[in-house]
Chains A and B, each alone.
Chain A
């Protein structure tokens, strides 16, 4: 569920362009496909759009969370594109591939925001429809929607000053 009317964090907004650029760059370099941004909104809840989430914590002068949210089929497609391994289920290999992709997106984005002196955590995977992700209090996460050759996915992120 997304909304375009909730309060907007300037710090979160600062991350938007680096995240978009990093996502496109990581998909192009590592998966050989160019995702297209199809939407940008503020979320009214902390429930990711899809059933598989790679969650990365950000700390430093900005603290927050970045989520790569995707369906099982996109996760399976990422593993196939990255290492040529086919799978018909979400297993450890799929989770690892999705985590690594999220790690590269977060790392590449934070490198463009050097003044924040941010560090990123080891990614975690959460699965299941309707799961929630923790963000700093009073932060409305952004949701950036993409479409690609392997399917749709979102990057969701929320940050606050420290």
Chain B
């Protein structure tokens, strides 16, 4: 299981990496924004993408659209503060696979990730 983890916050990447590690996932490639993420997506092979929405240089929505132009099947999960219905609908229309709103409890993050990393293992 190879994960591309995209968030401009190192704190948030650490929280998510620890959660993935508890699920036995250690092969995690990090990116700090959409531009860096797209470079790493094109250079590597991944099974799932976890992405923030609000980031400098290229946001998560644009990253999602770019990924969908290249790969329609890879699961892309948005983990973001963007909780408004209109934003969620926009992400769904752009092809997001799942959505987790920040803030989250450790259990809600774990169960969300568990569902996807288990089904794609």
Contacts and interface: CB of A to CB of B under 8 A. Distances in A.
A107 B82 contact: yes
Given A30-B103, A122-B55, A93 B81 contact: no
B8 interface: yes
B11 A83 contact: yes
A106 interface: yes
The bracket for how many chain B residues form the interface is 20 to 34
A99 B81 CA distance: 13
SS class of chain A's interface: helix, strand, loop or mixed?
Answer: helix
Contacts of A99: 9
SS class of chain B's interface: helix, strand, loop or mixed?
Answer: loop
A120 B81 contact: yes
Interface string B1-35: 00000001111101100100000000000000000
B30 to A, nearest CB: 13
B103 A29 contact: yes
B7 to A, nearest CB: 9
A90 to B, nearest CB: 14
Interface of B: 8-12, 14-15, 18, 54-56, 80-86, 101-105
Interface of A: 25-26, 29-30, 79, 82-83, 92-93, 96-97, 99-100, 103-104, 106-108, 110-111, 114, 117, 120, 122
